[in-house]
Structure 1
Amino acid sequence: MRINLVLELLDAPGQLVKVLEPISTVGVNLVTIIHKRDYKNDDGRVPVQLTLEGEQEDLKNVVNKFEELGFTIIEMDGVIKKEKITTILFGHIVDQDLRDTMDRINALEGVVIVAFDIKLNGEEKSTALINIEADVGKKQTVFNRIAEIAKEKELLVINEV
């Protein structure tokens, strides 16, 4: 049996070797690997395409090991597993407990903030650009949570289209 995966790895020395270790440990064959360093995203991550061959249970074990090691699987056999969501908050973000805002978004199952960039303007209102990675199908849930937080904290929200 074969499985095609696309992982996102930090573009740093040793990351590719860390991906190969579970493959050899479980006894699955690596058929192809494409490491696309020219396609680095805003978080410094690059896609790595893998084609693996082995018994169904062994392939499942490799996928589970990747997840345990914290590797993001963004595609499996052509099915998108993760989607990127970008939103902007405007207002007194820091004064309204920034940590609470982040924790409440991250509390959603299958959702994690991968980047939170804030631009401060002294005592004036600030702007935050939030990049979120979520399981497929969670986008509306994320937008609903952000809208709820923004309403409570009197922040303006600009969601992606």
Structure 2
Amino acid sequence: MRMDLVLELKDVPGQLVSVLDPISGLGTNLVTVIHQRDMKNKRGMIPVQITLEGERENLNKVIEKFKQQSISILEMDGNVQKEKISTILIGHIVDNDIRDTMDKINELDGALVSGFDIKLDGEDKSSALINIEADFGKKGLIFDRVKQIASEKDLLMINEV
């Protein structure tokens, strides 16, 4: 059986090798690797496409190993596993505890704040662009939670279109 994956890896020396190394030890074969460093995203991450071949049980072990290594699987056999979500908050973001805001978003199952860019304007209101990596299909749930957090903290929320 074959499985096609798109992984998201850090652009650091040895990252690709650390991902590929356990594959044969788990009873699978590496068929193809497409590693394009020029496709780096804003967070410095690179999509790597791999095709594996092996028994279903062994392929599942590889997937589990990737999860243990905190490797993001963006696609599995053409099915999107993760999606990127962006939202903007406007208000007294710093005064309302940035860490608490991020922690409340990260508490959601399948969601992780992957970027938090803030623009300060002295003592006036500030704005923050929040990038969230989420399991596919959870966009509505995440927007609802961020909207609730924004309401609790008297912040204006602007969602992506």
Q: Which TM-score band applies after superposition, normalised by the shorter structure?
A: over 0.9
* TM-score (ref. length: structure 2): 0.98
User: In structure 1, what is the equivalent of residue 26 of structure 2?
Assistant: 26
**2:104 corresponds to which residue?**
104
Unaligned residue ranges in structure 1 (runs of 5+): none
Query: Pairwise mapping of residues 25-104 of structure 1 onto structure 2 (< 5 A)?
Result: 25-104=25-104
TM-score by length of 1: 0.98
Runs of 4+ in 1 over 4 A off after TM superposition: none
Report deviation, 1:27.
2.4
CA–CA separation in structure 2 for the residues paired with 1:134 and 1:116 = 15
Letter in 2 for 1:122: G
Deviations 1:69-125, CA, capped at 9 Å, x for gaps: 010000000000000000111100010111111111000000000011111111111
**Cα distance between partner residues in 2 of 1:53 and 1:24:** 10
Deviation digits for residues 17-71 of structure 1, max 9, x if unmatched? 0111120221211000000211111110010000000111110000100110010
> Which residues in structure 2 correspond to 1:135-150 (within 5 Å)?
135-150=135-150
Partner in structure 2 of residue 155 of structure 1: 155
Percent of pairs identical after alignment?
63
Aligned counterparts of 1:77 and 1:42: Cα–Cα separation in 2:
25
Q: Counterpart of 1:3?
A: 3
Quote the RMSD (CA, aligned, Å).
Answer: 0.7
Q: CA contact under 8 A between 1:22 and 1:66: conserved in structure 2?
A: no
Contact 1:89–1:156, Cα closer than 8 Å, also in 2: yes
Q: CA deviation at 1:126?
A: 0.7
Provide the rounded CA distance (Å) in 2 between the counterparts of 1:17 and 1:24: 12
